[in-house]
Amino acid sequence: MLSHALMALSLTAFAGDDTAETPSISIPFEEYDLDNGMHVILSEDHSVPFVQVNIWYRVGAKDEIDGRSGFAHLFEHLMFQGSQHMDGEYFGPLQRIGAMINGTTNMDRTNYFEGVPSEQLPLALWIEADRMGFLLPALTQEKLDNQKLVVRNERRQSYENRPYGMTWWWLFENLYPQGHPYHIPTIGKHEDIDAASLEDVKAFFTQWYLPNNASLSISGDFDPAEAKALTEKYFGSLAAGPQPSPILDIAPTVLTEEKVIRKTDDVPHHKVWLAWHSPAVYKTGDADLDTLSSILTAGKDSRLYRALVEETQLAQDVEAYQVSMLLGSFYVIEATASEGKNPDDVVAAIDKVIADLKAEGVTEEEVGLAKTNWEASFYRRMRTISSKANQLNQYHVQTGNTDFIATDLARFMSVSPQGISAALKHLGEGRIQLHIGPQATTEAK
């Protein structure tokens, strides 16, 4: 064991007390490393007779090479198609015992998880270990061809054939230049997925899906001694490989001017998205922009909702949010134009609100309310064992500090009007302005 820590549980609400330096919140956990380098986090919670097994691999879409986009997401599918000692579809055996099982992939990481009745912890750990150590012997050309078709169909359903589905594709490819790790969204290109050979995907698996590139989090109703013994039994014998090098840093992309993109599609309304580059997750300004989002669009008294929907009726809806990512984030304001309203007028109205905020700042009352709402949301997210298992993995992998939760909440509770004014500087002239409108409306113009 290379590291070991035990934390006491404390979930004392911060309740908007601006005088406290650090919120009193923690998740009890114990952590250590297996000899093969796999990190293990154990967090007991006996509130329900259930246990969550959550594993993060340090590989996401950002780590793919040119011509091989979509591989991390493709493996999200292949990892459920069977391994050497359980060569069959994974969902059936777990769902029969009342389990919840799935996986997710984003730009920065790949995640697999199972929630099972407490007595089924051995099965959940064995399945995860078998596909980590023995996926390739069961990976056939037939399975690969089948999942390539599934992924390409998913892209059609989620992107090409869905109203406004291409929004994120167009935003990513215009925010980040060719060759940037974030240029191509997680789903990947059709031609890259179609061209993927069995040798290609085996090489990708061999490079990234290693115990020394993984973090395992177990949360819920379990006995620590049993969990340690099972983890050692199933994962301890898996061989480490050459340490992968995921992309952890890159020169920031800077937009110096506005780029306006106008698209038409089979959509019912004209929508507009404004997107600016912003600080990476956990960096200075990240929490401030999240808080700004509440001030702008959370509730009928928020700045943008009041200006665009209530007062001028230029828009049917408006939303602001920070898309926080590891190498750099982006900030988005999106709105749906009201029937008969010019979307360019919607943009002008948004710009006026932002200009007023830059000139006058936000009020202490606005910031206080936003912080209270954020704190309540933060605590709600930590109420389930699944959320805690995943959050502990995220903190460990992305910050190096599994016990980051109090620091994380403190980022938001320390936001001030001055901090938001500083963060507003990121919403400058360099941005993407994306319009998507109905084809008939555009043709009529």
Task: Assess whether pLDDT exceeds 70 at residue 14.
Answer: no
Residues 125, 45 share a domain? yes
In a domain, 211, yes or no: yes
Lowest-confidence region among 16-25, 86-95, 228-237, 425-434: 16-25
Contacts by 99-105 with C-beta closer than 8 Å and gap 24+? 99/124, 100/386, 103/76, 103/79, 104/76, 105/60, 105/61, 105/72, 105/73, 105/75, 105/76, 105/186
Residue 93 pLDDT: 83
Residue 129 pLDDT: 97
Residue 23 pLDDT: 64
Lowest-confidence region among 4-13, 40-49, 226-235: 4-13
Domain count within the chain: 2
Q: Considering the chain, what is the average pLDDT of its residues?
A: 93
Residues 119, 181 share a domain? yes
Residue 13 pLDDT: 37
Which amino acid type is present at position 293? Answer: S
* Per annotation, catalytic residue among 31, 44, 64, 76: 76
- Which three-class secondary structure state does DSSP give residue 229? helix
Which amino acid type is present at position 339? Answer: E
Element (H, E) at 74: helix 71-78
Domain that holds residue 428: 258-444
Residues 136, 100 share a domain? yes
How far apart (Å, rounded) are the C-alpha atoms in residues 267 and 304? 24
What's the CA angle centered on 306, arms 280 and 255, to 5 degrees?
A: 30
Element (H, E) at 226: helix 224-235
Residues 427, 349 share a domain? yes
pLDDT level of residue 2 (50, 70, 90 thresholds): very low
Element (H, E) at 397: helix 385-399
pLDDT in tens, 180-224: 999 999 999 999 999 999 999 999 999 999 999 999 999 999 999
Residues 369, 302 share a domain? yes
Residue 92 pLDDT: 82
76 catalytically annotated: yes
Task: Assess whether pLDDT exceeds 80 at residue 9.
Answer: no
* Half-sphere CA count of 264, side-chain side, radius 13 A: 8
pLDDT in tens, 107-156: 999 999 999 999 999 999 999 999 999 999 999 999 999 999 999 999 99
pLDDT in tens, 69-78: 999 999 999 9
Longest dimension (CA), the chain: 70
- Domain termination residue (choose one: 235, 269, 296): 235
Residue 363 pLDDT: 97
For residues 408 and 392, is the Cβ–Cβ distance under 8 A? Answer: no
Task: Assess whether pLDDT exceeds 80 at residue 415.
Answer: yes
In a domain, 318, yes or no: yes
In a domain, 251, yes or no: no
Residues 422, 335 share a domain? yes
Residues 230, 295 share a domain? no
How far apart (Å, rounded) are the C-alpha atoms in residues 322 and 384? 24
What is the CATH classification number for the domain harbouring 217?
3.30.830.10
The tokens describing 223, both together, are 């006995």
pLDDT level of residue 445 (50, 70, 90 thresholds): very low
How far apart (Å, rounded) are the C-alpha atoms in residues 380 and 402? 19
Residue 94 pLDDT: 85
Residue 21 pLDDT: 56
Residues 158, 72 share a domain? yes
Residues 153, 48 share a domain? yes
Residue 22 pLDDT: 59
Residue 326 pLDDT: 97
Residues 126, 272 share a domain? no
Could you tell me the pTM of the whole model? 0.92
Burial 304-318 (b: 16+ CB within 10 A, else e): bbbbbbeeeebbebb
pLDDT in tens, 312-347: 999 999 999 999 999 999 999 999 999 999 999 999
pLDDT in tens, 378-397: 999 899 999 999 999 999 99
Residues 33, 134 share a domain? yes
Residues 308, 419 share a domain? yes
pLDDT in tens, 255-266: 999 999 999 999
pLDDT in tens, 271-303: 999 999 999 999 999 999 999 999 999 999 999
Task: Assess whether pLDDT exceeds 70 at residue 358.
Answer: yes
CA distances (Å), 249 to each of 60, 209, 280, 289, 326, in order? 14, 21, 10, 21, 8
Q: What is the mean pLDDT of the segment spanning 166-179?
A: 97
Residue 20 pLDDT: 42
- Domain termination residue (choose one: 180, 203, 235): 235
In a domain, 216, yes or no: yes
In a domain, 246, yes or no: no
